[in-house]
Amino acid sequence: MSVASLFMVTVMVPAMDDAIAHYVNDWGFALTTDGTHESGHRWVEVAPDGGTRLRLVEARTDAEHEVIGRQVAERVAFFIRVVHFDAAIARWHSRGIELAEPPRSEAYGRVAVLRDKFGNRWDVFDAPVEALA
C-alpha cells in the first residue's frame, strides 16, 4: 500500500461559527467546505493556500470540551511554512493570535510558536520559495 498524502486533520472546537471566523479571518485560511454530512452533522473544512485541510468538529460532550486546544497535550499540534515569515508573524499577532514563543533561529531556519484562540500550538517556519514547490 502506498500513501499519497495526508490531506486533512480534525480539530475540536467549542463553537463552529466562532472557529470558522477565527481560522478564516485571523489566520487567513479559506473556508473550503461548510455543509451537512450524510449522517446529519455539520461538516466544515478550512485550509491555508494549497495546504492540508482542518476539519472543524464542534465539541458536544464534556470529554470533548476538555481536549480543546490540548489534543496533543502541551505539544505543538500543527506545523506551517510561510514565505514572508516576519510579515506573517506580525499579521497574525495583530489579529490577536498569541505569540507563545518569539522567533528564533534553528539549523533548519527560523521558527516561532503561535497559539490559536483555542490553545492549539503552531510552529511557524520560514521557507524559501523553492522549499514550497
User: How does pLDDT run along the chain (133 residues), one tens digit per residue?
Assistant: 677 788 999 999 999 999 999 999 999 999 999 999 998 889 999 999 878 999 999 999 999 999 999 999 999 999 999 988 999 999 999 999 999 999 999 887 899 999 999 999 999 999 765 554 4
Look up the pTM and report it.
Answer: 0.89
Report CA dihedral (22, 43, 73, 105) to the nearest 10 degrees. -50
Residue 69's nearest CA partner among 22, 113, 118 is: 118
